[in-house]
Every structure is written in structure tokens, then in C-alpha cells.
Structure 1
């Protein structure tokens, strides 16, 4: 059963993560509106806004969370938001933060503008099939590239994934330039927790001349939701007090620390 359709027990908390690269020139004004709405709905978590887009991690009652998203979809820029959902037994966030930043995921590479053009994406089912057969549909070897920080990778990753042990995402461009020749003749699928980092990473890789590169649509969380844990060992680190989720999108512990 899809986690989004799982009947919630009394008091269960719905957690969502969603992002979209879309021009938001009015980020400062939108910040005030979203803070007031989220606070009124007693939601907790983090909303990041920048001229390049929006990135949200929110938790609360199912009705409040989904109502907040529905209200946001009334803005045509966000009409197609499709949050990834999971459940927890308690609130995993301590407070509500709504911030305006220079980037919703910092890369320090201003030429990368996902709102202008995305890199090609591959869905979970296709990646699972490629990994099972060891090559893409053209017979080319497939490698997965983990774009997350080293401590996140240590919780779990795809079997055989490339891991450059970066400490923060701003280190990714330099690491890529040091290793990009290793991708010759291979199909590369970049991945991350929810899709935001691997989207920027895939665009940069194409700009650096790597032709056969895809981003994993929706990241690890969407992969877990759609196909489970095939070809993945361990859990997926998340940036809240649940710490990590398994392939069934369940927290590594019943209660937050």
C-alpha cells in the first residue's frame, strides 16, 4: 500500500517533503504568508524560499498538512506540487521555520538554474529494472552517484553507489571535475534524499560534458514509496528527529530522540 494512502492511527503525524524550482521574485512577501498559514495550522518544520524555488519539510495532522498544500497549489506556480508522504507516531520537528535564502539548496554555482531546464529524469521503476539487469535499455552500464553528504550515505545507499565522501553539497562541483572522466561509456543516475540535490547535480554534470546522466525522480524517498528497498542497503537519513527511514518509510525508532 502506498504510504500516502495508509490509514493514520489516532494522533498519527503526517510528514511531507516537497520542492520545486520555479522563479519566486516575491520570496520575502510569500514568506510572511506561508508562515502565518503554517502557524495557524499548527504545523512544524522548515520552509525554504529563494528566487530559484521552494523546499518544504512539514509535519502535523493529515488534514492540516494537506490543507496547507492545497492552499499553496492555488498559486499557479505551485499547482503541480506532489509531496512525498510518510507517517510518524509523534511530531519530528521542534518548531516552525520559514526562511528566505539565496538558494533552496546551496551549491554556489549560480549558472545552474533548474527552473530554466531540467536534466532528464528516470523514475523508480526504471532504475530498479536497470539495476537488476546491470545496464540501461541501450545496453550501457549503469552507475548510481550519491550526491549526499558522507554522514547521510553512512546510514544507507544503493548497492555499489559512487560516494565521494563530500562534507557539504558545495563540494560537489569540485569532486565532479576530479572524477568526471570515470563516467565515460556509462549511464549515470544521480540521487539524493528527495530529489533536490540530484537535480542540480545532474544539470551540472551535463554542463561538464557528461552526456548520459539522469536524476532519480523524487530521490530515495520516492524510490522507497514506489518500489521498496530493492538494490538499496540500510536506511535513508532525514533531517528531522526521526533520524532515518527504512524502505517502508518507517522511522528507525518509534519516538524521536
Structure 2
């Protein structure tokens, strides 16, 4: 039996002349289809993750690809038991992924694609002249990464350009970058080429596409995702846990936020570890008077605060899109 819901992950670098107008029209389209998720609109393109009923998601994909600007967008499609989001947000931002690289245009130059099956062979062979580079943030690669990949000590992707200085010794090697869905690598690989790296490639579609097409083989740990699931299983061939509980040190890929809202540290924590400080990462945090009640999940949904999906729309509900 097919799952009733789908989760869609996608991006597209393509010029949008009036991002504000497009945002409103796109927002209304998502409301008509009862979709939830996060979509970023910028003059350079579109980036989104949404969930909804299968028929609604299929219609959404058809509608997006019917626009000549996005006819080439590739959706990573996963079956899920329910919505993976509780809200819908469609926002205009300067970049569709915050890279602090507004001058980089992936439509003009970027790293060549490596398809999942080819990438799987590279992971198995591990050629000496090839480097696998993870361009994601610490909390992402600490819970899961590809075997023997180089990781960077960064809190946010916007820190990537500064860290490239540490990779000077790799300039003459073949570098293959990867991220969750591919969008960060479009700019990361382009920036590496700009900085003089000779042979730069990127995993096409990122970790998620690799999981769909190559069974996630040799991806160690779980894949961090930006929806209410937080992490998802990826490797169907040789899975393993690489992260450890922040409190007890035992292997654990269960991601939580510290129950102290002033800390809110995002870390792996086992159920046993969570019981030590009632969901907090330390004794000090557990003593904070504002500590949130620990409900066993370590996931603290932001208050809806009268959330209205139509708030901020300037046009009438029947505006065409």
C-alpha cells in the first residue's frame, strides 16, 4: 500500500525578476494544495522542502515544472507516514542558501556532477587522488557522513568560504563535495573552482538522492534533515552509528535540544543520557529556572502563537498563480 504522504526536497537556480510577487503567488498555490514546509525565494532561484498528501504533492511538482524557469528542477521524493512539517513558510531572502557568496552564479560555472552509482564505486575504491568533502555544518556531519569524508569545523554554511583556506593542500586533487540535497554544493564547488582548485565535482542530488538511488551504502550514521524528523535512516546496506551521547558517551544517533531554552544545544543524546539531567545537557542547565519540561523526545516545537498561513498575503485568496 502506497504511503498517503510525500516529502519533497528541491532547489533550482533560475532568475526570478520579482521575488516578492512570486512569493505571494507561490504561497497561495501551496495553500491551495494544503502543503506545509519551508520555501525560500530569491532573485537567484527557489529552494524548498514541503510535505503533503501524495496527490497534492504530485500536482505541486507538475505546477512547478510547468514554469519554464523551473522546468529542469529535480525533486527528491520520499514516502512518509504524515506531514513532516507543522507550518507553511514561504519567504524572500537574498540567497536561496545562505552562503555569503552572492557573486557566485551556479548557472554559469559549478562543479561537474557525479551520479550516485558512480559515487558509490568511488567510495568503495577510495582512489588516492580523490577527496570526499562534506560541506555541511558540525551538527549535521557529527550524526552522519560518508566513509572517510573530510569534514569542516563550521557552525553554518556561511562559514565555508573562510574554511577553504585550510584546504590548500587539496588543490591538485580531485575533490567531490556533498551536502544534504545538493544546493550547498552548487555554490561550494563553484567557489572552490574560483579559488584555484583544479578538479572539482559534486554529488548530484546530495545525500538524499544517494539514499534513494544507491541505498545509502557507506554513509555512516543517519542523515540530518530539516523537518520534524530531524534525522532519517539512509543506509540499507552497511549501516552503523558514529555519534555518541553528549551526556553518557554511549553510541547514539538520537538528536535532541537541551531542555534549557537559553542553551538549546542541538546534540546526540540517548534516552538514558536524557534521564540524567531531565533532558538537559549538563547539571548547570538542569538548574536553570526556565528549563522546559522534558517529554521524552527532546524536541520542543515552537509555539504556534496564533499561526495563520494566510498572514502577510497582500492579495485576495483567489489570486491566480
Query: Structure 2: which 5+ residue stretches go unaligned?
Result: 237-253, 256-296, 300-321
1:124 CA displacement = 0.8
Q: Name 2:184's counterpart in structure 1.
A: 197
Q: What is the Cα-based RMSD across aligned positions, in Å?
A: 1.9
* Structure 2 counterpart SS, 1:144: strand
Decide which of 135, 153, 159 is 2:141's aligned counterpart.
153
Deviation readout 1:133-189 (Å, 9 max, x if unpaired): 122xxxx52211111110011110001111112000111000002x22221442111
**Partners of 2:220 and 2:235 within 8 A in 1:** no
Deviation readout 1:52-91 (Å, 9 max, x if unpaired): 1100101000110110121121210111222001122121
* Structure 1 counterpart SS, 2:99: coil
* Structure 1 counterpart SS, 2:11: strand
* Structure 2 counterpart SS, 1:81: coil
**Which structure's relative contact order is higher, taking Cα pairs within 8 Å and 6+ residues apart?**
1
Show structure 1 runs of 4+ deviating over 6 A.
Answer: none
CA distance in 2, matches of 1:220, 1:16: 14
Determine which structure has the larger helix proportion and give its number.
1
Q: 1:173 to 1:49 in 2, by over 3 A?
A: same
**Partners of 1:241 and 1:256 within 8 A in 2:** no
* Structure 1 counterpart SS, 2:21: helix
* Structure 2 counterpart SS, 1:65: helix
Q: Name 1:3's counterpart in structure 2.
A: none
Deviation readout 1:191-220 (Å, 9 max, x if unpaired): 000000011100000000001110110000
The structure whose Rg is larger is 2
Aligned residues: 241
Matched, 1:239 2:233: no
Deviation readout 1:4-36 (Å, 9 max, x if unpaired): xxx523xx3200000011111121111111111
Q: Name 2:167's counterpart in structure 1.
A: 180
Q: 1:191 to 1:181 in 2, by over 3 A?
A: same
Matched, 1:66 2:53: no
Matched, 1:23 2:11: no
**Partners of 1:90 and 1:256 within 8 A in 2:** no
* Structure 2 counterpart SS, 1:162: coil
**Partners of 1:131 and 1:142 within 8 A in 2:** no
Q: 1:29 to 1:256 in 2, by over 3 A?
A: farther
Query: Structure 1: which 5+ residue stretches go unaligned?
Result: 1-6
